[in-house]
Amino acid sequence: MPVVGLLSGDKVYAVVVPNTNRKTLHAIIYGLVEVGSTVVTDEYPAYLGISKDYIHEVVTHHTKEYANKNGFHTNGIEGFWSQLKRGIRGIYHIFSHKYLQMYCNEFAYRHNTRKIPDAYDLMILLQDSIQTCIILI
C-alpha cells in the first residue's frame, strides 16, 4: 500500500492512498498546500504539472542529488520515513495493511509533538481523544 507524506514546516502529514498517480498526488498537494507556495519533490513524474500553481523545486535522487542547485532538499520527509519504518520494524515487527493509516497517524503525531513537553503532549492527546469520541457518537 502506498503512503504519501508531506512535510510543511515542522508538521508531517502521512496518508495511505490507493495509488500514486498524478490525480492522487495533486489532490493531496492542492488540499494541504497553499497555492503559490514552494513545493519540493523528487523527480517522480506524477508531480509534473504542479508548477503552474506552485514554485516546484525538484531534487533528482536518481543522479545522487540530495539538494538541488537552489539548496532545496527532501531530507526532512526522508527522516520521517526512516522513523516510521524503524518504528514499525522495531515496535510492531509485523503490521497489517488494514491498520497502516493508524501506524502513519501515530508516527505523524510523534513527529508533530516531539518538541512539546510531555504534560502538554498528554493534554493534546486527551483533547484529540475527546473530540474523536464526540465525532463517533
Q: What is the pLDDT of residues 21-74, one digit of tens each?
A: 999 999 999 999 999 999 999 999 999 999 899 999 999 999 988 899 989 999
Ordered by start, the domain boundaries in the chain are 3-136
In single-letter form, the type of residue at position 80 comes to F
**What is the average pLDDT score of the chain?**
87
For residue 137, the model assigns a pLDDT of: 45
pTM of the model: 0.76
Percent of the chain with pLDDT over 90: 58
User: Which of 62, 60, 112, 124 minimizes the C-alpha distance to 84?
Assistant: 112
